């Protein structure tokens, strides 16, 4: 498997402890999930709180507790899942109804639809680890704050 290497020669999948520590500057709630460590000791998933809106009909602010799957990062686009609020409370059109996913196979969670063009954009971003994770998290923050009813994951 090809390794994506940044300007410092840093490669490998997942996040390092230092990378997560740097993310905490902008996302202070970011915490590694201990049971999602990769064989290399790197972080395969982390949680954080992101502010968004309730829905495209209700612009009241709400905090979402988000699980970020970085098991394939930086070669693969991360994936985001809502841990809270619960599925029956979510009214955001870009958050799917709960389902089972390999990141937490014994728990039903809601995936966030990050848009059809997100993978192409991610694949074309510079091969810089910090840029990629920060740009992608910024995109997820934008999705949560600016619901797109034209790209629905659920009908509201």
Q: Per the omega criterion (within 30 degrees of 0), is the bond before 115 cis?
A: no
Range in 14-23, 93-102, 115-124 the model is least confident about: 115-124
Q: What is the pLDDT of residues 96-112, one digit of tens each?
A: 999 999 999 999 999 99
**pLDDT of amino acid 3:** 41
Distance CA 15, CA 21 (A): 10
Residue 25 has pLDDT above 70, yes or no: yes
Between 115 and 88, whose confidence is greater? Answer: 88
Share of the chain above pLDDT 70, in %: 93
CB 97 within 8 A of CB 87: yes
How many helices and strands (H and E) does the chain possess? 3, 6
List the chain domain ranges. Answer: 17-151
**pLDDT of amino acid 64:** 98
**pLDDT of amino acid 156:** 75
Order of strands, edge to edge, in the sheet holding 31-32?
31-32, 45-53, 61-69, 79-84, 104-111, 99-101
Residue 129 has pLDDT above 50, yes or no: yes
CB 68 within 8 A of CB 46: yes
Average pLDDT along the chain: 90
Q: Beta 31-32 vs 61-69: how paired, if at all?
A: unpaired
Range in 8-12, 80-84, 131-135, 142-146 the model is least confident about: 8-12
Name the band, by pLDDT with cuts 50, 70 and 90, for residue 1: very low
pTM for the predicted model, two decimal places: 0.90
The continuous run of DSSP H or E covering 20 comes out as helix 17-23
Q: How many CB atoms lie within 10 A of CB 43?
A: 24
**pLDDT of amino acid 115:** 81
CB 68 within 8 A of CB 44: no
Assigned CATH class of 17-151: alpha beta
CB within 8 A of 43, min separation 6: which ones?
14, 15, 16, 17, 19, 20, 32, 33, 36, 37, 70
């Amino acid at each position: 498997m090809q390794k994506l290497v940044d300007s410092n020669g840093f490669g490998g999948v997942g996040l390092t402890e230092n990378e997560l520590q740097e993310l905490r500057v902008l996302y202070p709630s970011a915490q590694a999930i201990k049971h999602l460590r990769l064989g290399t000791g790197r972080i395969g998933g982390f949680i954080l709180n992101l502010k968004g809106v309730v829905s495209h009909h209700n612009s009241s602010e709400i905090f979402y507790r988000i699980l970020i799957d970085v098991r394939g990062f930086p070669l693969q686009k991360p994936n985001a899942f809502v841990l809270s609020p619960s599925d029956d409370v979510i009214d955001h059109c870009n958050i799917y109804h709960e389902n089972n996913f390999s990141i937490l196979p014994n728990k039903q969670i809601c995936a966030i639809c990050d848009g059809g063009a997100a993978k192409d954009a991610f694949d074309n971003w510079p091969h810089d680890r910090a840029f990629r994770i920060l740009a992608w998290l910024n995109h997820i923050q934008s999705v949560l704050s600016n619901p797109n009813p034209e790209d629905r994951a659920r009908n509201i």
